[in-house]
Amino acid sequence: MSTFTQTNVDQPHGPVVQGTCSLVFCFDVGQAIDLNMATEILSRSAALPSPQREQLQLRRRAPKYFNFDPAPVRFLQACEPVARAGFEFAPRNETTLYDFGGVSVVYTIPISGRLSDLVALANTLSEDESLLKRSREQLSGILQSLAPAISRQRFDDLTEDYATFQFDRFGEPTDKLDDLLRANRSLIAQILRGDTSNLSAQEIDEALSSRISYSESDAAFLDFATGIVIGPDASDLLDLIEFANVELLEMRHLDEALDDALEEVYPILSQATRGRAGTRRLRRVAMLQADAAILFEGVNNAIKLVGDHYLARFYHRLTDRLHHPEWDTSVLRKLGVLESIYQKLNDLQSTRRMEVLEWIIIILIAVSIVLPFLPFYK
């Protein structure tokens, strides 16, 4: 190891870093958002921010079909000055609208200093509820104007948040990235966990277990609440992190909605409903099932990942860390239960119709047998 590496890589406060911290808050505001109408509403009002329809800014060669479908609507808003752990927030935040009803609000914090300075910032952000409240209040004011573009508008307490530290500079140009990462494992783990205490070797290993790199000069560490991205021009990765957390929120909301739907339809199985009442309840179950299935497909098909192998690997590594597969399994299982209930109710309705038809046939046969013996039948 060179003298330069010994005096800079092994610094107790870590290497010099420069970049940004992105703090994402995710909300669910409705069943769906008409993005064209939302763009029109924002564009024609001087009091509202100007929207943009943007796709991923790809830093590597990728097919044209790799992108969001449809492209989300983004706009910037001014926000009050905020400082946390000695770092000043940027004066504007970015709001993104997705067609399946998800919305994200992103705050950015310019970063310049030592890696150790970010431990306190990560810890502060992980425990700060005031920023969530601010973003909710700001978004609430915009939603009033966007109401015509939102189907079945709602704005409940279910949220997701995620902090990403993105470094354009990580140490000196002459430092080897792998050497820097090995020498600063403890600091990196503390940032990922938002914890200022000294972590055990086992906890450090677990926090750093989801590392992914494209080249020798970049790296990303993905944890369940915080991520670290080392390398310039990482807007595509930041977009994926933002979207994955919105997707997680939608899966959580859908899981809760399915719980409510199952609680609503379970009693129907034990009720002896006939005629129009039974048909209405059967239609209600079908509507609940269709709404859930449409939202599930809309969220999972909002982005195409077949064109860029690295971004696909990054996204799947991130979603594994956020436990997307477990949420998907839970949603699919409950959709299956809802389908089973619908099928049972449909079979019950069909059986009752058959019983009625059988009785009608029996009555008609009996009448046809009796009629010739009646005195007035001639």
Same domain, 21 and 86: yes
One-character DSSP codes across 90-116: PSEEEEEE-TTSEEEEEEEEEEEEETT
Same domain, 215 and 262: no
Q: Taking 90 as the threshold, does the pLDDT of residue 271 lie above it?
A: no
Same domain, 39 and 175: yes
Domain stop point among 187, 215, 234? 234
Domain stop point among 234, 254, 272? 234
Q: Taking 90 as the threshold, does the pLDDT of residue 5 lie above it?
A: no
Same domain, 196 and 297: no
Rounded to 5 degrees, what are φ and ψ at 328? -60, -40
Predicted confidence band of residue 65 (pLDDT cuts 50, 70, 90)? very low
Same domain, 191 and 306: no
Tens digits of residue pLDDT in 319-366: 999 999 999 888 888 888 877 777 777 777 777 778 788 888 888 888
Same domain, 216 and 259: no
Same domain, 256 and 223: no
Give the Cα separation of 312 and 332 in Å (integer). 22
In a domain, 301, yes or no: yes
CB atoms within 10 A of CB 107: 22
Same domain, 279 and 215: no
Q: Which parts of the chain fold into alpha helices (H)?
A: 3-8, 35-44, 117-127, 130-146, 177-183, 185-193, 201-207, 235-269, 275-300, 309-321, 324-370
Structure tokens at 133: 């409240």
For Cα atoms 245, 165, 321, give the angle at the middle one, nearest 5 degrees: 40
Give the Cα separation of 321 and 225 in Å (integer). 9
In a domain, 284, yes or no: yes
pLDDT at residue 281, as a whole number? 66
Same domain, 359 and 228: no
Q: Taking 60 as the threshold, does the pLDDT of residue 132 lie above it?
A: yes
Tens digits of residue pLDDT in 78-128: 888 899 999 999 999 999 999 889 999 999 999 999 999 999 999 999 988
For Cα atoms 191, 221, 72, give the angle at the middle one, nearest 5 degrees: 100
In a domain, 168, yes or no: yes
Same domain, 257 and 336: yes
Same domain, 179 and 257: no
Tens digits of residue pLDDT in 229-249: 999 878 889 989 999 999 999
Q: Taking 50 as the threshold, does the pLDDT of residue 60 lie above it?
A: no
Q: Taking 90 as the threshold, does the pLDDT of residue 182 lie above it?
A: yes
Domain stop point among 234, 263, 292? 234
Give the Cα separation of 238 and 24 in Å (integer). 10
Q: What residues make up the domain containing 229?
A: 3-234
Cα–Cα nearest to 23, from 331, 276, 352, 245: 245
Same domain, 65 and 196: yes
Give the Cα separation of 195 and 208 in Å (integer). 14
In a domain, 377, yes or no: no
Domain count, the chain: 2
In a domain, 374, yes or no: no
